[in-house]
Amino acid sequence: MPNDSYQINEQQRGSREMSFIIYPAIDIRGGKCVRLLQGDYNQETVYGDSPTEMAKQWASQGAEWIHLVDLDGAKAGQPMNDEIVLEIARTLDVPVQIGGGLRRMEDIDRYIEGGVSRIILGTAAIQDQPFTERVLDAYGDKVAIGIDARDGYVATHGWLETSEVTAEQLAKVLIAKGAETFIYTDISRDGTLEGPNTEAIVQLARATGKNVIASGGVSVEQDLLELAQYAGDGVGGAIVGKALYTERVNLPQALKRIREDV
């Protein structure tokens, strides 16, 4: 159960819209569906040859959104698996979000026009804020800011570099530019199945007053139920990868429990 240090009362809980979405994660590298350990490109596990078929599988099990990451794009600084992403967006009846290498407006335009429901800015959000502001002006709630943190500091370039900016500092600057949704990843938890950093996620949601999607570390259904208790604080969902692929979390069952509890 959640730690008492960040319990909230029912009045506080009711002050924010309460919804919690499970986002199955599909990380694409070399055209395949893979998972990395703590963002390490040398520690890769392949879970499928077709990201599109994997997306269809999660959608058929009740997923309300699909989370896509172009790992090659994140490393290269430009989309590298864009045809696969657009195929998934065209094929599925559920919305998809994509991150990885989005640093040019023409790439973002192509994704949105091609049916992608939300794009995720990561490195660009910290290194090119004028660009980020233009994207937010153009697409508003179709934009999420991916805040990937190592020891509380924002990591960039596919997690290969760490900045001197804290997650909360970056979020507050971007809120002033119109950001409404953040995806918070604790890199130390990603792919480890050690449980999410719930305290940091809740703190970011409270500090920003915006929608924060948790990413990294979900290992069992109870992790999702714990995070969902903070939907009223602004924790709007969780991205789940390895726990789904290793069948530690059953998606239909987890969705049913969340809907009953939230």
Q: What is the pTM of this model?
A: 0.87
In a domain, 251, yes or no: yes
What CATH number is attached to the domain comprising 89?
A: 3.20.20.70
* Side-chain-facing half-sphere of 87: CA atoms under 13 Å: 13
In a domain, 1, yes or no: no
pLDDT band at residue 16 using 50, 70 and 90 as cut-offs = low
Q: Domain range holding 172?
A: 21-261
Structurally, how many domains does the chain consist of? 1
In a domain, 3, yes or no: no
Question: What are 78-121's pLDDT values in tens digits?
Answer: 999 999 999 999 999 999 999 999 999 999 999 999 999 999 99
In a domain, 11, yes or no: no
In a domain, 254, yes or no: yes
The label of the residue with tokens 């963002």 reads: 39
Question: What are 72-85's pLDDT values in tens digits?
Answer: 998 899 999 999 99
In a domain, 14, yes or no: no
In a domain, 146, yes or no: yes
Q: Are 34 and 81 in contact (CB under 8 A)?
A: no
In a domain, 85, yes or no: yes
Q: Which residues are catalytic?
A: 27, 148
Rg (CA), the chain: 17
DSSP string, 50-115: -HHHHHHHHHHTT-S-EEEEEHHHHHHTS-SSHHHHHHHHHH-SS-EEEESS--SHHHHHHHHHTT
